[in-house]
Chains A and B, each alone.
Chain A
Amino acid sequence: MTENQLEDQVRRVFERQGAALDAASLAPRVETPQEMATVEHLAAGRRPRGLFLAAAAVAAIAVGSVTFLAAQSAPQEAETASSDVRYPNAMTQSGTGPVAGEDHWHHAYTINHCGQDLPVTDQFAAAGGIHTHGGGLIHIHPFDETASEQNATLGLYFESQGAVLTDDSFSTGPFNETAVNMSEAEGCDGSPAVLQLAIWTDPFDPNAEPIVHTENLASAYFDVDNAAITLALLPAGAEIPKPPQDRLGMLQDLQAEPPAGVLPGEPVQIQPGQPSADLPSGEELEGSSPEN
């Protein structure tokens, strides 16, 4: 990208942000004592969400404690878990989660209610750095410890939007254009259903099988980059759909980076459909762009 192109892009980003702020700036506002109190909180760096996060941390500790106690009371199961599971709440069992100030990961996601994808929020939610610009992508970009490593949970992401995720129910938050409560108690059209979290670590492989969780959904933390996730309420055994193709396309766009050893800005040619030796094992560029 040339400097002129970059400057144009920067202008466009600011125009976009300005346009997003337009609606809120239509009328000058008169501050109330309540608003001033909130501002004083902001100025003092005591953001109200701190309480929220503290509550989340307490909840996470509580869940962890319950899990630990349950493991203590079921020694056989605990033995199996300790030998197979190194990172109990990691979505893919791959590691300890994103590092603050270093990692900037992306997941395409969808919420599927009995076979129907719900509209995702356009709200740019801040939760210690986990956010979305809308469009069905989660940006896992922790800038402090409240949202890094094992704190980078799916529950935290939804919580920042006012949505509520438990092991058997999910309610969309106020920023979602459609208010939906889905729960195992209600099921799907009268049939029993299970709330599940499916993760595809290779979202562009059409044959890849997802890792599926049905427990500790809110405390499951992001532990890989470039994954696709679906939170679904579906009858047990039903196939869990991946996020829509346009979201996977956006994920793929972000993933397109020069292979190791290539200087930034240098053109890279990779034959469509051919695996690249320079890409990490198991990753291939698809032959055609995903449909939008």
Chain B
Amino acid sequence: MQWNQPGQRRVSSGVTTNVPVGIEPQQPELTFDDFYARAWPMAFKFASILVQDSSVGEELAQEALTKMYPTWGRYERPEAYLRTVIANGSKNWHRHNQVVRTKLPLLAGPGHHDPVADELADAIAALPYRQRAVLVMRYYADMTEAEMAEALECRPGTVKSLASRALAALAKEIDQ
């Protein structure tokens, strides 16, 4: 796909749109191209950290943005919706791949090395998907409990429980 007409998108219905977005009142119009460019780093990193794989994360982020394109203009909070779509995509990807894959480590940055953080990263990667997803959503994406519940298709109470179990598992791993 290529968004080569900044400011305008021809959607599947054939209508050309300049779309208002309610997320930033001071910016009355936001084109899909601008949103794409702005949201891409967050989408890519959020997806990659959720699935612990940058190649798959990149594809999930692209897929989520592609899904939003035909209905662009309907979102009050497009970034929140994007996160939900990515979380759903990640969940589906995990469901299909959990048999063949337990974890794939992410790329680490050069330079500073912290063995304890490395161990924690491994422990996070080894968590069941929903437990890891809650941690990523809470501590990386700063999502609200309601957003997390929606993204994970569960009740807010379940989100709390998943977070609690995830932290307990990490604490156990670190103590060991």
Contact = CB atoms under 8 A, between A and B. Distances in A.
Interface of A: 1, 3, 6-7, 9-22, 24-31, 38-39, 42-43, 45, 47, 101, 104, 122-126, 129, 131, 133-135, 137, 139, 141, 143-144, 250, 253-254, 257-258, 264-265
B172 A12 contact: no
A125 B171 CA distance: 25
Top-7 shortest CB links A-B: A264-B175, A135-B113, A14-B140, A20-B109, A143-B102, A45-B100, A122-B110
Most chain A CB neighbours (cut-off 10 Å) among B1, B57, B175: B175
B86 interface: no
B2 interface: yes
A120 to B, nearest CB: 10
A9 B175 contact: no
A45 B102 contact: no
Interface of B: 1-2, 36-37, 40-41, 44-45, 48-49, 53-59, 62, 93, 96-97, 99-111, 113, 115-122, 124, 126, 135-136, 139-140, 167, 170-172, 174-176
5 contacts: A6-B167, A9-B174, A27-B40, A123-B108, A265-B175
Most chain A CB neighbours (cut-off 10 Å) among B57, B115, B171: B115
A25 B40 contact: yes
B37 A28 contact: yes
Given A9-B116, A264-B172, A24 B102 contact: no
B49 A14 contact: yes
Nearest to B163: A7
B55 A18 contact: no
Main secondary structure of the interface of B (DSSP, over half): helix
A17 B105 CA distance: 10
A15 B108 CA distance: 11
A254 B104 CA distance: 21
Most chain A CB neighbours (cut-off 10 Å) among B56, B104, B176: B104
A42 B48 contact: no
A254 B174 contact: no
A21 B40 CA distance: 12
B120 A9 contact: yes
Contacts of A27: 40
A12 B106 contact: no
Given A24-B54, A31-B1, A104 B115 contact: no
A148 to B, nearest CB: 12
B118 A139 contact: yes
A31 B40 CA distance: 14
A213 to B, nearest CB: 27
A11 B167 contact: no
Given A14-B135, A257-B176, 11 more contacts: A9-B120, A16-B108, A17-B106, A21-B49, A22-B45, A24-B54, A25-B40, A101-B102, A104-B122, A124-B108, A143-B101
A240 B167 CA distance: 43
Nearest to A50: B100
Contacts of B53: 42
Nearest to A255: B115
A25 B170 contact: no
A20 B113 CA distance: 13
Given A25-B40, A45-B100, A13 B121 contact: yes
Nearest to A254: B115
